[in-house]
Amino acid sequence: MRDHADVVIVGGGMVGLALACALRHTGLRIVIVERGEPPVRLSLGRDCRVSAIVMGNVRILEGLGVWKHLKDDAGPMRSMKIWDNQEQGGIRFDASEIEEDALGYLIENSCTQRAMHKTLLDSDDVEFYSPAEITAIDWQPGDWSQEDCSKNPARVRLADGRVITTPLIVGADGGRSWVREQANIGVWQRDYAQKGVVVNVRAEHPHRGIAFQRFLPTGPLAVLPLSDNVCSIVWSAENAEADRLLAMSDEEFLDALNLTFGPVLGRITEAGDRAAFPLKGQLAKHMVRERVALVGDAAHCIHPLAGLGVNLGLRDAMVLAQEIADAKRFEEDWGELAVLDRYMKQRMPDVLSVMGSMEGLHRVFTTNIPGLKEARGLGMRMVGNAGAIKHLLMRNSTGLSLPVPKQIRT
């Protein structure tokens, strides 16, 4: 069986689907190959994997037509309070300071994916092959018939025997990307030796749309506002401690959580099932090579302490989609390195700056060096009091000031 696609996206997670949504009206034929998403793990009846989508990216989802399927499931994050173990300093960010209703929204990952699938229903140009797996990529299949604008398309072979030719393969297949490996692209890696313990909880008092982030010497504890007054917890802890948190009875866990978080929301009274995810920092040494582009976690994984991983990935998807659409308009081959380089060059400053800040924050908040601890408290107070700097920081971290297309021009 022989087939042709203008773009083959490997991985139908949030980032791969976002790319397909962005390309769905460009007239290109898109194939998504998804090997079968992992089953959703429920906690208090909700997906325990939750992402904070910052306001700049909410605008992207609006532009893509995804938001209308998602907004009823999204919990607004109207402000964020950050403080550390020393109780010194502490800082609060309010959406009203940047003239917005919310800094972002908390959404279950499975809801985002469902909304993206719904969005794709309005296009006949996107096909979803799942469960399906690519078993081989032939980068230069020689005199394979010319069905597209590229002179030398790649050829992918699926486990069911299907063969697809394509000028561009996009690796959207997560942190352990198979596509990245096949393209011989190495990674820089940083193992935090931590896991993120995730669980949904209910507390005595309503969260009022406030996200709480408490930095502990062992890692951050985030309490994030979901809809219906449920909070999503991401508790980053060293591996042994995370395993201990997972092994506790519900009662022991609630005691440990209340003791660590404090009475900010009254007592946390109910906790659902817990799950844990290993935390690592990772950056692909190249985001592209001829006929391949990496997006999302396949290109970069970051510590979830500021909840920006999928936010970076959505911006990758938008910039790559625009480069592909532009290349089509100007009759260029969008799998060529010169085109893909334009994508990489636009994305690197954002990726490096977010990765650098996450690493810096992680170090500053896990340090035990006495002088640095005091400087940290002072720094937080200074940012909290310096209106212009705080405003700039907020617009940058919510993605509102980044030059990323909100809709694809065709």
Ligand X SMILES: Cc1cc2nc3c(=O)[nH]c(=O)nc-3n(C[C@H](O)[C@H](O)[C@H](O)COP(=O)(O)OP(=O)(O)OC[C@H]3O[C@@H](n4cnc5c(N)ncnc54)[C@H](O)[C@@H]3O)c2cc1C
CB nearer to ligand X: pick between 275 and 337: 275
Dig out the tokens for 354 from the structure.
């977010």
- Strand pairing partners for 165? 4, 155
Nearer to ligand X, 52 or 333 (CB): 52
- Which of 7, 16, 287, 333 binds ligand X (CB under 6 A)? It is 16
- Count of residues engaged in binding ligand X, rule: CB under 6 A: 32
Binding part of the chain for ligand X, among 31-39, 67-75, 77-85, 139-147 by CB under 6 A, reads 31-39
Are the CB atoms for 109 and 49 separated by under 8 Å? yes
Q: Does 399 bind ligand X (CB under 6 A)?
A: no
Q: Does 171 bind ligand X (CB under 6 A)?
A: no
- Position 297 contacts ligand X (CB under 6 A): yes
- Residue 11 or 335: the one with the smaller Cβ distance to ligand X is 11
Within 37-56, the residues that bind ligand X by CB under 6 A are: 37, 51-52
* 315 in Cβ contact with 399 (< 8 Å): yes
Candidates 155-163, 210-218, 263-271, 301-309 — which segment interacts with ligand X by CB under 6 A? 301-309
Please tell me whether residue 307 binds ligand X under the rule CB under 6 A: yes
From 173, 333, 336, 350, residue interacting with ligand X (rule: CB under 6 A): 173
Cis-peptide, bond into residue 131, ω within 30° of zero: yes
Q: Give 75 or 309: the residue with its C-beta nearer to ligand X.
A: 309
Distance CA 47, CA 27 (A): 34
**Residue among 330, 322, 332, 342 nearest 404 (CA):** 322
- 234 lies in the binding site for ligand X (CB under 6 A): yes
CB of 6 or CB of 34, closer to ligand X: 34
**Which H/E stretch holds residue 76?**
strand 75-77
- Binding pattern to ligand X, positions 190-219, x when CB under 6 A? ------x-x---------------------
Question: Does residue 75 belong to the site contacting ligand X (CB under 6 A)?
Answer: no
Q: How far is the CB of 46 from ligand X (least distance, A)?
A: 14
Per rule CB under 6 A, is residue 13 in the interface with ligand X? yes
**Residue 366, token pair as written in the block:** 């896990």
**Closest to ligand X by CB, 33 or 203:** 33
Among 9, 14, 116, 325, binds ligand X (CB under 6 A): 14
Candidate segments 5-13, 23-31, 114-122, 327-335, binder of ligand X by CB under 6 A: 5-13
Q: Which amino acid is at 61?
A: L
The helix-helix angle for 370-385 and 337-366 (nearest 10°) equals 110
Phi, psi of 279 (to 5 degrees): -110, 130
Instruction: Classify burial at 247, counting beta carbons within 10 Å of its beta carbon; exposed 0-12, middle 13-18, buried 19 or more.
Output: exposed
* Of the residues 7, 29, 34, 333, which one makes contact with ligand X according to CB under 6 A: 34
CA angle 410, 315, 297 (to 5 degrees): 125
Q: Shortest gap between Cβ of 329 and ligand X (angstroms)?
A: 27
CB under 6 A: which stretch of 82-90, 308-316, 345-353, 356-364 binds ligand X? 308-316
**Residue 55 is inside which H or E element, if any?**
helix 55-64
* By the rule CB under 6 A, 153 interacts with ligand X: no
E-state strands within 139-274: 154-158, 163-166, 169-171, 187-203, 210-216, 219-225, 230-238, 268-271
CB 211 within 8 A of CB 54: no
The crossing angle, in degrees rounded to 10, of helices 14-23 and 55-64 is 50
DSSP annotation of 40 reads: P
Residues that bind ligand X (CB under 6 A): 10-16, 33-35, 37, 51-52, 133-134, 172-174, 178, 196, 198, 234, 277, 296-297, 304, 307-311, 313
